[in-house]
Amino acid sequence: MTHAAATHHTSMGLDSRKMAFWAFIGSECLLFGSLISTYLVYKGRSVVGPYPHDILNIPFTSVSTFDLLMSSLMMVLALAAVQRGDMKWGKIWLFATALLGLVFLGGQVIEFTEFVHKGLTISTNLFGCTFFVLTGTHGAHVAVGVLWLLTLGTRALQGKLGPANAMTVEITGLYWHFVDVVWIVIFTVVYLIQ
Amino acid sequence: MSEPRGLKSWLTTTDHKRIGLLYFWTAFGFFLVGGLEALVIRLQLAQPNGHVVSAETYNQLFTMHGTTMVFLALMPLAASFFNYIVPLQIGARDVAFPRLNAFSYWVFLLGGLLLNASWFTGPLFHAGTLNVAPNGGWFGYANLTERQFSPGPNIDFWLLGLQVLGISSLAAGFNFIVTILNLRAPGMKMMRLPTFTWMTLVTQFIIITAFPVITVALVFLMFDRFFGTHFYLQQAGGTPLLWQHLFWLFGHPEVYILILPAMGIVSDVLPTFSRKPLFGYPVVVYSGILIGFMGWGVWSHHMFAVGLGPIADSVFAATTMLIAVPTGVKIFNWIATLWGGDIRGTTALHFAVGFIAMFIIGGLSGVSHASPPADLQQTDTYYVVAHIHYVLFGGTIMGLFAGMYYWWPKMTGRLLSEPLGKWHFWLQLVGMNLAFFPMHFIGLLGMPRRIYTYSPDLGVTDLNLISTIGAFLVGVAILVFLYNVLRTRRRGERASNDPWGGATLEWSIPSPPPVYNFSVIPTVTNRLPRWSTDRHGPIQDPPATPPAPIHVPGGSWWPMVAALGLPLMALAPLTHTLWIVFVGAAVLLFGIYRWAFEPFEV
């Protein structure tokens, strides 16, 4: 009755952490919006190669994209398992999500290394600048997500994550799905529409 | 339930009231630093061919004056009121995320110190001078800020400091949006929120959308300077205009981040001292929201001189003139609030009315450079300097001082001296008009901004001297305020719960409030809960002692530890030492993990 209102009752009926996260995602939209706009504004303005069509490997990145999409599915399953109190599957799906995230990051490392070998670095031309900063920022977001998922997985292994923490898993999921959606936009804008 | 004391209790505090006070004193300290920078600038310009400072130092002074005032003084002074007053106005015991709030403060303090460290750290960079302060203007136009043209650490300090400060503003933004939307007392519907709280909410939405844009602009600049990218470089096919677009896409909403809180304060002060509800409250609120949206559609008016073409110029001229409409609506609402009111001429009211008058002058000169042909005559001259100072000093600072005199008794338990307050007001009003009004003429007569001296042939010598005298008069006014503050600490009259007869909830509890704010959370049934009107009587104030024990969250070290990681990471590029970035990241992560897993029940 005299408790602070934060955890027990909220004016909008929405968990405060969840609301803060939606606001954060709104803010992130402007961050990626600025990066993607810059990529589009500078598209086709590189004065030296390699140009996008020389170097982008669409089949390879399609596999990465599929991998990230599947990780979102794992995330959904993880949340569902935690919510119904099935911590065995909760752990499995959490680690599976993190693993697919790691696979995506590995794909990005391979892609970046290959580009550098083919002569495209961050300072080669405008395509290099905008491509590496945009996809690198996205990769950093995936890395933070993986760290977060591994933390939750470890907590689950220690028995410290249960249905009472379903909101924490849900918020992690919000972040993970957002990062996934951003990739779909990047994949479309950078790889598919050349 | 007694208040914890000692240094540790301040370093670990998560109480919104203490964080509000920390914000206030830190920001006021930076305000004095920025003011001293302004006075040195005015000394240099007091006479033609001045020799007070060198051209290089002058560049650093105007850059740091602008950057300090915008990011380290005005924004955090407003944040101090967000912190202290907003939870009290909505009937809450704290903000939604008390530790995130502490984190915002520490990041702000450390970011400000990082930026100002550039005044003393020249020898560390073998610069040959003591000061390596940023020198590219507060707007930091590329490609002047590229490594090629600014090789020293000056711009690095600026771009890293601003990135750190942006994190502080963003974290506070999420916190206050959730606080205002989610922690309102029962019955405190959105259209019953005090106007200051409403304008705070709009401001936070602008902050969380505008700051990512400048972050991206700064990241591009950082990559250009450290990793050889070409984001703003012509020779690689890029364009420095990208910087201008990104900067002003942030920069114009930033103007509203600075002015909306002051408008909110004035909208609370005027009704209290007119004994009348705010005239057209919904219209004032909707105008604020409209300004928040329209603020995103006017940025290119900062770029008329670039030559964007007649279509772009016409569109941005039109939107700029249009945004004057909701602002004008507010001004008429404020005047109508005073009209026929039972006016008490307190210092707070003086500043609120001063705000209206000065802001009208600044608004009129603003509309005058909404027109591209006129703007081409005015841009980069002292006319624009006159405009921004009427808006940000005559507007924001006047509004903030209105808030200080109004809420001082609530925040400290003592009333500032009214006679001294009036001296402060009149000195500041006369001083600022002497300082800034001549700048309109100085600019139109052809004196450019950001040039460290001028020739006697320009015919602006006397006007510049008058302006300098005015600036020092403002300095005297601030000294009077500081004396008033010191005097009030010892001899100030003790404040009751409600020294002014205010309508809003912060006046229903003791001054200063107890740690838990409200002994019983009030239930609100109307927009002016503490006033009686035709339709309702005032609500009962909460009892002096809580009827049941109240849980108050303890302090935490981890927000400060996490905050320390950010300036540490910034040291890595400053010193070109890679391993420091890993140390900084480790400190940040360590702080976040301890923070996430410590027991902390709000």
Which residue from A minimizes the CA distance to B180?
A11
Cross-strand partners of B381: B448
Question: Are the Cβ atoms of A5 and B229 closer than 8 angstroms?
Answer: no
B381 in helix, strand or coil? strand
Question: Are the Cβ atoms of B212 and A28 closer than 8 angstroms?
Answer: yes
CB contacts under 8 A, B 78-97 vs A, are 92-94, 96-97
Report percent pLDDT > 70 for chain B: 100
CA A29 – CA A24 distance, rounded (Å): 9
Structure tokens at B108: 């702000």
CA A144 – CA B526 distance, rounded (Å): 45
Alpha carbon distances (Å) from B269 to A1, A146, B15, B152, B189: 33, 50, 25, 47, 21
DSSP secondary structure string for all residues of B388-411: HHHHIIIIIIHHHHHHHHHHHHHH
Contacts of A188 (CB under 8 A, 6+ apart): none
Residue B71, domain CATH: 1.20.210.10
Lowest mean pLDDT among A42-51, B1-10, B252-261, B519-528: B1-10
Reported as a single tens digit per residue, the pLDDT across A90-106 is 999 999 999 999 999 99
Sign of the CA dihedral running B184, B271, B367, B58: negative
Domain assignment of residue B142, yes or no: yes
CA B186 – CA A1 distance, rounded (Å): 13
Residue A85 burial (10 A CB sphere; 0-12, 13-18, 19+): exposed
The whole-number pLDDT of residue B551 equals 85
Domain assignment of residue B537, yes or no: no
The whole-number pLDDT of residue A2 equals 33
What is the band of B2 on the pLDDT scale with cuts at 50, 70, 90?
low
| Domain membership of residue A98 as a residue range | 35-192
Domain assignment of residue B463, yes or no: yes
Same domain assignment for residues B477 and B586: no
Q: Which residues of B are catalytic?
A: 65, 94, 138, 168-169, 252, 254, 256, 267, 301-302, 327, 330, 449
Which residue from A minimizes the CA distance to B184?
A11
pLDDT at A4 over 50: no
Same domain assignment for residues B586 and B522: no
Q: How many residues does chain A have?
A: 194
* Helix, strand, coil distribution of chain B in percent, nearest 5: 70, 0, 30
Domain assignment of residue A40, yes or no: yes
Best mutation target, A28, A34, A43, A148, to test chain B (most B CBs within 10 A): A34
Contact B343, B274 (CB under 8 A): yes
Q: What residues of B are in contact with residue A45 (Cβ under 8 Å)? A: 237-238
Residue in this structure with the two tokens 């140390």, named with its chain if needed: B583
What is the band of B1 on the pLDDT scale with cuts at 50, 70, 90?
very low
Cβ of B220 under 8 Å from any chain A Cβ?
Answer: yes
Same domain assignment for residues B413 and B265: yes
Q: Work out the average pLDDT over A30-35.
A: 98
CB contacts under 8 A, B 548-587 vs A, are 548-551, 553
Reported as a single tens digit per residue, the pLDDT across A98-155 is 999 999 999 999 999 999 999 999 999 999 999 999 999 999 999 999 999 999 999 9
H helical segments located in chain A: 16-41, 52-55, 58-83, 87-117, 126-157, 166-186
Cβ of B174 under 8 Å from any chain A Cβ?
Answer: yes
Element (H, E) at B414: strand B414-415
pLDDT at B165 over 80: yes
φ, ψ of residue B535 in degrees (nearest 5) = -100, -20
**Nearest to B478, CA basis, from B421, B436, B411, B402:** B421
Question: Are the Cβ atoms of A20 and B551 closer than 8 angstroms?
Answer: no
Contacts of B83 (CB under 8 A, 6+ apart): B16, B17, B19, B20, B23, B95, B101
Element (H, E) at B494: strand B493-494
Which residue from A minimizes the CA distance to B95?
A6
pLDDT at B274 over 70: yes
Domain assignment of residue B283, yes or no: yes
Domain assignment of residue B541, yes or no: no
Which residue from B minimizes the CA distance to A20?
B174
Cβ of A174 under 8 Å from any chain B Cβ?
Answer: no
Cross-strand partners of B493: B415
Give the CA count within 13 Å in the CB-facing half-sphere of B410.
Answer: 25
pLDDT at A3 over 60: no
Same domain assignment for residues B229 and B304: yes
What is the band of A1 on the pLDDT scale with cuts at 50, 70, 90?
very low
Q: What residues of A are in contact with residue B212 (Cβ under 8 Å)? A: 27-28, 30-31, 33-34
Residue A70, domain CATH: 1.20.120.80
pLDDT at A7 over 50: no
φ, ψ of residue B308 in degrees (nearest 5) = -80, -5
β-pairing, B493-494 vs B414-415, is antiparallel
Question: Are the Cβ atoms of A38 and B231 closer than 8 angstroms?
Answer: yes
Structure tokens at B87: 């939870």
Same domain assignment for residues B482 and B574: no
CA A85 – CA A79 distance, rounded (Å): 10
Question: Are the Cβ atoms of A34 and B93 closer than 8 angstroms?
Answer: no
What is the band of B602 on the pLDDT scale with cuts at 50, 70, 90?
low
**Nearest to B464, CA basis, from B169, B41, B9, B28:** B41
> Measured between CA atoms, how close is A114 to chain B, in angstroms?
19
Q: What residues of B are in contact with residue A137 (Cβ under 8 Å)? A: 219
Domain assignment of residue B42, yes or no: yes
φ, ψ of residue B143 in degrees (nearest 5) = -95, 10
Question: Are the Cβ atoms of A133 and B220 closer than 8 angstroms?
Answer: yes
**Number of domain units in chain B:** 2
CB contacts under 8 A, B 178-197 vs A, are 178, 181-184, 188
Q: Work out the average pLDDT over B494-509.
A: 96
Reported as a single tens digit per residue, the pLDDT across B217-243 is 999 999 999 999 999 999 999 999 999
The whole-number pLDDT of residue B536 equals 84
Question: Are the Cβ atoms of A128 and B229 closer than 8 angstroms?
Answer: yes
User: What value, to the nearest 5°, has the Cα angle with vertex B505 and ends B100 and B335?
Assistant: 105
> Measured between CA atoms, how close is B597 to chain A, in angstroms?
10
Q: What residues of B are in contact with residue A1 (Cβ under 8 Å)? A: 548
Question: Are the Cβ atoms of B182 and A42 closer than 8 angstroms?
Answer: no
Same domain assignment for residues B493 and B602: no
Question: Are the Cβ atoms of B212 and A27 closer than 8 angstroms?
Answer: yes
Same domain assignment for residues B580 and B480: no
Average pLDDT score, chain B: 95
φ, ψ of residue A43 in degrees (nearest 5) = -65, 130
Same domain assignment for residues B379 and B276: yes
Domain assignment of residue B138, yes or no: yes
Lowest mean pLDDT among A45-54, B280-289, B580-589: A45-54
Domain assignment of residue B395, yes or no: yes
H helical segments located in B275-340: 281-294, 310-338
Same domain assignment for residues B461 and B601: no
Residue in this structure with the two tokens 């964007």, named with its chain if needed: B308
Report percent pLDDT > 90 for chain B: 93
Cβ of A10 under 8 Å from any chain B Cβ?
Answer: yes
Domain assignment of residue A29, yes or no: no
What is the band of B432 on the pLDDT scale with cuts at 50, 70, 90?
very high
Question: Are the Cβ atoms of A23 and B209 closer than 8 angstroms?
Answer: no
pLDDT at A6 over 50: no
**Number of domain units in chain A:** 1
Q: In angstroms, what is the C-alpha Rg of chain A?
A: 19
Cβ of B99 under 8 Å from any chain A Cβ?
Answer: no
CA A78 – CA A75 distance, rounded (Å): 5
pLDDT at B599 over 90: no
Same domain assignment for residues B472 and B584: no
Reported as a single tens digit per residue, the pLDDT across B118-150 is 999 999 998 889 999 999 999 999 999 999 999
Cβ of A122 under 8 Å from any chain B Cβ?
Answer: yes
Same domain assignment for residues B447 and B343: yes
| Domain membership of residue B81 as a residue range | 7-532+551-555
Reported as a single tens digit per residue, the pLDDT across A63-100 is 999 999 999 999 999 999 999 999 999 999 999 999 99
Of A5, A19, A126, the CB nearest to B236: A126
The whole-number pLDDT of residue A8 equals 56
What is the band of B537 on the pLDDT scale with cuts at 50, 70, 90?
confident
Contact B530, B507 (CB under 8 A): yes
pLDDT at B271 over 70: yes
Reported as a single tens digit per residue, the pLDDT across B326-368 is 999 999 999 999 999 999 999 999 999 999 999 999 999 999 9
What residue type is B478 in one-letter code? Answer: I
CB A132: neighbour CB atoms within 10 A? 22
> Measured between CA atoms, how close is B37 to chain A, in angstroms?
33
Average pLDDT score, chain A: 94
Structure tokens at B5: 């004391």
> Measured between CA atoms, how close is A75 to chain B, in angstroms?
21
Sign of the CA dihedral running A15, B293, B199, B11: positive
Cβ of B592 under 8 Å from any chain A Cβ?
Answer: no
**Nearest to B278, CA basis, from B437, B63, B500, B503:** B503
The whole-number pLDDT of residue A9 equals 77
Domain assignment of residue A133, yes or no: yes
Same domain assignment for residues B181 and B304: yes
Question: Are the Cβ atoms of B216 and A35 closer than 8 angstroms?
Answer: yes
Cβ of B599 under 8 Å from any chain A Cβ?
Answer: no
> Measured between CA atoms, how close is A120 to chain B, in angstroms?
12
Q: Any idea of the CA torsion for B97, B98, B100, B105, to the nearest 10 degrees?
A: 140
Best mutation target, A126, A138, A152, to test chain B (most B CBs within 10 A): A126
